[in-house]
Structure 1
Amino acid sequence: MIDHDPMTLRDLFRDKDRRYLLLTASLAFLALGTSQALYGPLYPWFRESLSLSGSAVGLIASFHFFGATVAVLVAGFVLRRVGFKAVIIAGACIFSAGYFGFATSSRWGGILASALLLGLGFGTLVSFNLFIDDYFGPLGAAALNLTNMFFGIGAILGPLLAGISLSLGGHRLAFLAGGAVALLLLAMTLRLRQHHPVAETDRSGAGTALAGTVVFLVFLALYIAAEASASNWIPTSLTRNHAPPFVASTMAMVWLAVSAGRLAAVPLSVHLAPHFMVLGSVGCATGMFLLARFEPAAPLAYIATGFFLGPVYPATVSWIRRVFPSRAARIAATVMAGGGLGGIFGPPLVGAATDTFSTAVIPLAIALILVASLLTGLGITVFFPSRPTSAGKGQEPGREDHQGDQERIGLVLPVGPGPVPGSAPRD
């Protein structure tokens, strides 16, 4: 279970290129978390100002989700041709356009178009996950947890920004502020070093890769189903015995715990293999949901679930690269896009359980979804074992620590973060 790669936490920040990439990605995930959390608090204002029904307002999130799904899939397939930098810059441009579209739109059609643009930019910028994991190599899981920590912080800032904007008369200020951050992000992405996915010889056939993609997709969809169900149904579970202000503060603590869990996972990820981090976290979260069935323990147990669920998504991206190194960008993009379907079927399943039984069944229902995810993950470790890791293109190639691994698996590592001269990516 221990990852024996002789990396240390200091290697995350070894040179200015690494530090700049981490800073830019952290700002990106902060902006992504903020954008996703803006919609909900603004729904009542949109309904009243535009005379919309609840189902119509819900189309904002639908357009955003559709755009994000399409963008994740497309980005995963063009990365090898144009490199990470071009994709990230395009995402920042579209993201900015979506924000300013929201800020300047007063008609329903313009708002939906802006939601689609914001979703397209969102999904394209999610490519930062693939960029970071590929660039940092064996330290990918640690770098991903560090940068993804800011997504949770953004999810807390989003409702606060929406509240300030509404107190000043509408939605425009929130999206203007978001657009300003998106422009700053765009300026920072222009200074990123060019980088293409690492090309390695993959011994697996297309059939094995397809099967692995499906199983990873099922695993992530089940995990996201549990995560989405938690964010949607934990408040309902708590309102059985607690007042609304207490419930709201508890949910804020859950989001803080998600960020804290990712921060705590940074040093652990240096020493633990990604699959161990993922399965251990899912197992602990399952235990916390079962503990939440006991009312006195429920608030603290729910906060603990946020802590344990935090590292799962970033570490899963790194896990995919360990299993399918040369196909990681395409497979991870497909898995991330398809895994998002869990957010569609998870909450309704838990809702159906509450209709059949009562709201007391909420923590048990979510725990059962996590058990299914855990069993799927264990199956992956059996049928799709991780391979020896190689350094990413951001890794210093001359270190003697890795020389044995490089010779054993037949890798020729490039010098610096650029592509290997004269080489073409291949599967």
Structure 2
Amino acid sequence: MPRLNRGPTLALLCAVYFGAGLSLASIGPNLSALAANVDRDVALIGSQFTAFSLGTVVVQFVVGPFSDRYGQRTVLSLGLLMMGLGILGESLSRELTLLLVFAGLGGLGFGSILSSGSVLVPRLFPVRGTSALNLVNLFFGVGSIVGPLVAGRALAQLGSPLPALWLGAGLLLGLFPLALLAAEADVPAEGALNGSVPWLLVLLLGCLLLVYSGTEIALGGWAALYLEIGADMAPAQAAIAVAGFWFALTVGRGAGALLGLRFSALQVLLMTIILLLSGSVLLFFMVGNPTGSIGALLVLGLAFGPIFPTTMALVALTSGGRGTAAAVALAIGNSGGAIIPPLMGLVLSRAGPPAVALLVVISTSIVFLLACAVVVVSRRAQQL
């Protein structure tokens, strides 16, 4: 069969990221259902975030050489297969150990999807890589809106939010045959300027991703319970509010795509991180206020939107599109999902919403300081 050119491949990646966003955003509203399936406390189910994130980290150690040999198309295809089966397995598991195994498999798949998309898009669109990556990740946000809405509707109509996970897994597995036809981009002959990779910048950007991604995953996963406990909201209402968080994130991705046409990737990153810090402060002062808490989550979602694709665009820019640099940044960055989400669940269950809001302020402040360090190092290297 004929291969897809870069336009249809970009559309395919948008669909893949939509399915991934739908699946991941459905996990939060399904935490209680997953806990009931394995007959464990819901706080313990937070360990699935750790297993999932460990999978996304571990796969980065092999995805670089694997993609060099077999291509990004193969990495993307295997990622769809593993994530789809992992999400489906989680929803059907009746033992905690089995659930964690499938969560790890899903993480392996998601890490493969992130790696292939973050490398393939800038290579296919070298001039507008920041905008193209934000566009693809915008569809992740669209899926993240749909997921909680489907979960909330299924809970209200069917008594269980699990169909949202089944829908996400079905989309991912259904896209597998098309991924086998995706376009393949040439590997750059050398890395960044002077044929070398500025590893200090890559490491700083990876650390920024670590704190950012861990905080985003934690808020997306625990926001529903945070609102139920701290703002006395009904589960169905909280699920809709979480959908609003992902809607704001999607708008942020769209804004990032537009801003990337006018501003540099580093400028876009700084603007969004300042907004992120402002949203975290608002969340802290609005604890217990339903309207204020939802408003703060919307600001945070808007700010979260452009950070991941813009950061990965910076990694591609500084490394000359080297897959190894992207893998290193993702390996560091995805570690945040293994640390911050379970920590937030523990803080929420033992110290309550005010402590969670303080944790968000601390984490976003660290993101801001790391962004400042990136500016200083990049100016000294004169590469951005």
Q: Deviations over 1:33-67 (max 9, x none)?
A: 12223334334334434434546644444332222
How far 1:355 moved relative to its partner? Answer: 10
How far 1:358 moved relative to its partner? Answer: 7.5
Shift of the 188–109 alpha-carbon distance from structure 1 to 2, 3 Å rule, reads: same
1:215 counterpart residue number: 204
Q: Which has the larger share of helix?
A: 2
Of the candidates 116, 133, 137, which is equivalent to residue 126 of structure 2? 137
**8 Å contact kept, 1:41–1:162:** yes
Q: Distance in 2 between matches of 1:263 and 1:367?
A: 25
Q: Deviations over 1:294-332 (max 9, x none)?
A: 4475532431221122101100000112222153x2122
SS of structure 1 residue aligned to 2:327: helix
Shift of the 98–196 alpha-carbon distance from structure 1 to 2, 3 Å rule, reads: farther
How far 1:376 moved relative to its partner? Answer: 1.7
2:246 counterpart residue number: 255
Of the candidates 314, 317, 333, which is equivalent to residue 322 of structure 1? 317
1:414 counterpart residue number: none
1:418 counterpart residue number: none
2:326 counterpart residue number: 332
Amino acid at match of 1:303: L
Of the candidates 365, 375, 378, which is equivalent to residue 371 of structure 1? 365
SS of structure 1 residue aligned to 2:189: coil
Mapping for residues 239-278 of structure 1, pairs under 5 Å? 240=230, 243-244=233-234, 247-278=238-269
2:80 counterpart residue number: 92
2:190 counterpart residue number: 200
How far 1:256 moved relative to its partner? Answer: 0.5
1:393 counterpart residue number: none
How far 1:19 moved relative to its partner? Answer: 2.5
Q: Deviations over 1:110-150 (max 9, x none)?
A: 54443333222221111212211222112111111111112
1:413 counterpart residue number: none
Query: Whose radius of gyration is greater, 1 or 2?
Result: 1
**8 Å contact kept, 1:98–1:118:** yes
Matched, 1:289 2:280: yes
Percent of counterpart pairs with the same letter? 24
User: What TM-score do you get using the length of structure 1 for normalisation?
Assistant: 0.74
1:412 counterpart residue number: none
**8 Å contact kept, 1:216–1:335:** yes
Greater displacement, 188-197 / 23-32 = 188-197
SS of structure 1 residue aligned to 2:127: helix
Shift of the 108–372 alpha-carbon distance from structure 1 to 2, 3 Å rule, reads: closer
SS of structure 2 residue aligned to 1:196: coil
Shift of the 372–89 alpha-carbon distance from structure 1 to 2, 3 Å rule, reads: same
Shift of the 370–102 alpha-carbon distance from structure 1 to 2, 3 Å rule, reads: closer
CA RMSD between the two structures? 3.6
**8 Å contact kept, 2:150–2:161:** no
Greater displacement, 214-223 / 313-322 = 214-223
Matched, 1:187 2:182: no
SS of structure 2 residue aligned to 1:117: helix
SS of structure 2 residue aligned to 1:31: helix
Shift of the 23–368 alpha-carbon distance from structure 1 to 2, 3 Å rule, reads: same
Amino acid at match of 2:190: E
Q: Distance in 1 between matches of 2:359 and 2:166?
A: 40
Mapping for residues 3-402 of structure 1, pairs under 5 Å? 17-54=5-42, 57-99=45-87, 101=89, 110-126=98-114, 127-162=116-151, 168=158, 173-174=163-164, 176-203=166-193, 209-231=198-220, 236=226, 240=230, 243-244=233-234, 247-295=238-286, 297-327=292-322, 329-346=323-340, 359-360=353-354, 362-363=356-357, 365-385=359-379
Shift of the 271–38 alpha-carbon distance from structure 1 to 2, 3 Å rule, reads: same
Unpaired segments of 5 or more residues in structure 1? Answer: 1-15, 390-427
**8 Å contact kept, 1:79–1:197:** no
1:410 counterpart residue number: none
**8 Å contact kept, 1:31–1:151:** yes
Q: Deviations over 1:195-253 (max 9, x none)?
A: 233233544687x7443332222222222344345446656378545644665443321
How far 1:268 moved relative to its partner? Answer: 1.5
